[in-house]
Amino acid sequence: MKGRLVDLINLFGQLGGFDFLKKRICEGELTVNILSFLLRPFGLCSSFLTERVRNDYIIAIVDKSIEFINSLNDDLLKKEATTDSRSETFSSIMKVWYSSG
């Protein structure tokens, strides 16, 4: 099963998936939900990513994600934290940061 996952990750990279995600996160408009949906796959497969992918893509993506979260005002953070599903979304973003680091 792990071999298939590695094959899918490699295919994703060959088709420009990492480039697309880096561009989307670093240059596109973000919401907490969008960021979560884009980051979730990295958290689930982070142990299978090469050091090159981590250095070229993941570091920039995580840095931009942190910048985005830091830019949220207190009212929005409180709103996100009080909504159960969004609180889970916030938690999933944090898990990705720690698992990909």
Over residues 13-30, the pLDDT tens digits come to 999 999 999 999 899 888
Q: Enter the tokens of residue 28.
A: 């596109």
- Give pLDDT tens digits for 42-74: 777 878 888 888 888 888 888 898 888 888 877
Given this model, what pLDDT does residue 62 score?
A: 85
User: What is the model's pTM?
Assistant: 0.68
How far is Cα 48 from Cα 77, in angstroms, rounded to an integer?
Answer: 32
Given this model, what pLDDT does residue 3 score?
A: 85
* Domain range list for the chain: 2-100
| 34 backbone dihedrals φ, ψ, rounded to 5° | -60, -45
What is the full DSSP assignment across 24-73?
Answer: HHHHS---HHHHHHHHHHHHHHGGGS-HHHIIIIIHHHHHHHHHHHHHS-
Q: Quick check: 11 pLDDT over 90?
A: yes
Q: Which of 7, 9, 2, 70 is nearest to 41 (CA)?
A: 9
